Structure 1
Amino acid sequence: MIKAFIFDMDGVIIDSEPLHFEVDQWVMEQIGVQITHSELEEYVGMTNPAMWSRLIAKYSLRDSAQDLIKLQMQTKLARLRASDEQPIEGIPELLSFLKANQIAIGLASSSPRVFIEAVLDKFSLTPFFHYILSGEEVPQGKPAPDIYIQTAEMLGVDAADCMVLEDSRNGILAAKTAGMSCIGYRNPNSGDQDLTRADFIVDRISDIKQYLLSILSIRER
């Protein structure tokens, strides 16, 4: 029985991966490094500290992760606030469906809390979530399972009774390692992600409600 549904955010609630790729490439250009879109796909689902520590080591960068993250986040927040971005199609309806059927709703994102809150505030979605957690607030970010284990604990639900919605290989690995079922959302803007470990894969968020109806015997109210 699914008692809780936990959302990733980037590439699931908001189609923000193009923004992340664009800004991360721009930050690298500011320090004289050209990096490809496909190379950045490897880090989708990871926290910023984890990504930047790997890039610093790979390119022998002199800049600190803290300075790079500060520049990155200032730029991303400014562009988010100036954009006319909307939630990914089907997300508001899915949240309403889960709420109507009394399923606990969590959010477990690798983004910093300031970016999570900016996105949810922009879309007026904050009231739907019973618990929100950033990957930077747990010992290890995705693909480690920490963020999903803690979210389940705070929702008061066993991991086996949680379903996760993810768009990245790292996120799916985290969810499955935590012992949860997982839906993979195939978002073309998230890059070439291996979703094969997901229990079910969708191309549209709107397909998830029917899937839930089929496995939970929930009758729409």
Structure 2
Amino acid sequence: MVEEREKSGRAVKSLKIGGKEGKMMLEAVLFDMDGVLIDSEPWHLEANRELCAELGFKLRMEEYANFIGKSSSEKWTYFKTKYDLGPTVPELVERENRKNIQMIPDNGEGLIKGVLPLLQTLQERGVGCGVASSSPLAYIEAVLEKYKLYPFFQAVVSGENMAKGKPAPDIFLHTAKLLGAHPEHCVVIEDSEHGVQAAKAGRMKCIGFKNKNSGEQDLSPADLIVDSLEAISFHSLESLLYC
């Protein structure tokens, strides 16, 4: 049973997972958030452009793209060093976080097509679901509240408190642990190169989602690549475990 609460994330409800011994059961599906649950990369880019302008430099797209899927701390550590910025890294992360939260649409726009039917199917089937995002926890929670997605997730984890961020597998392994799921019985859905690498490093099956707003991402290590979440069925998720 999952009832753990901690800084790196939280289990939202209790869940018991298990299947018949000897059969490969789908125990959990782990979702990245930005670019997978919500099409947030455009407003993230705008928030970063605004903040960089306030700090006195112009954001270069090729540099920004390198940090898609990674934590804000890693990104601002890089920019602070390169541009000799005055604020501390935590202060920079907080300023970006405030801008991102302010930019969440009030009308519910931005939810990735196919997300709700997929989450509803997994809920009906009793499959554990977790959010494993590199974003700060306050922002993750704001998004899940705004889009009313909390009821679908039993674990919510932020990479900001992980010892190693994506492409290290720590965040996915921790989320699986919160759900009581074995890594080999988990499927990760990711839109970034670093996220796919993290899932595979954690011995999990991975679906790469080609989101045009996530930039040029090498998703080739994924076990399955899709252009739409509508292409993902319960059967296709289960089938990945036997690949």
Q: Please classify the TM superposition score into its range, dividing by the shorter chain length.
A: over 0.9
Correspondence for 1:98: 122
Offset from partner CA, 1:152-196 (integer Å, 9 cap, x none): 111111111100000001111111111101000000100111111
Letter of the structure 2 residue corresponding to residue 122 of structure 1: K
Higher helix share: 1
Correspondence for 1:187: 211
Offset from partner CA, 1:92-144 (integer Å, 9 cap, x none): 00001111111111110011111111111111110110111000122111111
Distance between the aligned counterparts of 2:38 and 2:152, measured in 1?
15
Query: Could you tell me which of 16, 20, 33 is aligned with 2:44?
Result: 20
The more displaced of 78-87 and 139-148 is 78-87
Correspondence for 1:33: 57
Letter of the structure 2 residue corresponding to residue 180 of structure 1: M
The more displaced of 50-59 and 25-34 is 50-59
Q: 1:210 deviation in Å?
A: 6.4
Query: Which segments of structure 1 move beyond 3 Å, counting only runs of 4 or more?
Result: 81-84
The more displaced of 134-143 and 158-167 is 134-143
SS in 1 for 2:66: helix
* Equivalent residue runs for 1:1-221 within 5 Å: 1=24, 2-82=26-106, 84-209=108-233, 212=236, 215=239
The more displaced of 61-70 and 79-88 is 79-88
Is contact 2:121-2:234 (8 Å) kept?
no
SS in 1 for 2:70: coil
**Unpaired runs of 5+ in structure 1?**
none
Q: Could you state the TM-score of these two structures normalised by the residue count of structure 1?
A: 0.92
SS in 2 for 1:164: strand
Quote the sequence identity (%): 40
Say what the alpha-carbon RMSD is for the aligned residues: 1.7
Offset from partner CA, 1:47-84 (integer Å, 9 cap, x none): 11111111212233232112212221111111215464
Aligned residues: 217
Distance between the aligned counterparts of 2:63 and 2:160, measured in 1?
22
Letter of the structure 1 residue corresponding to residue 201 of structure 2: T
Letter of the structure 1 residue corresponding to residue 119 of structure 2: L
Letter of the structure 2 residue corresponding to residue 98 of structure 1: L
Distance between the aligned counterparts of 2:51 and 2:95, measured in 1?
7
Is contact 1:86-1:123 (8 Å) kept?
no
Q: Could you state the TM-score of these two structures normalised by the residue count of structure 2?
A: 0.84
Letter of the structure 2 residue corresponding to residue 54 of structure 1: Y
Letter of the structure 2 residue corresponding to residue 99 of structure 1: Q
User: Per the alignment, do residues 211 and 54 of structure 1 end up closer, same or farther by CA in structure 2, a change over 3 Å counting?
Assistant: farther
SS in 2 for 1:106: strand
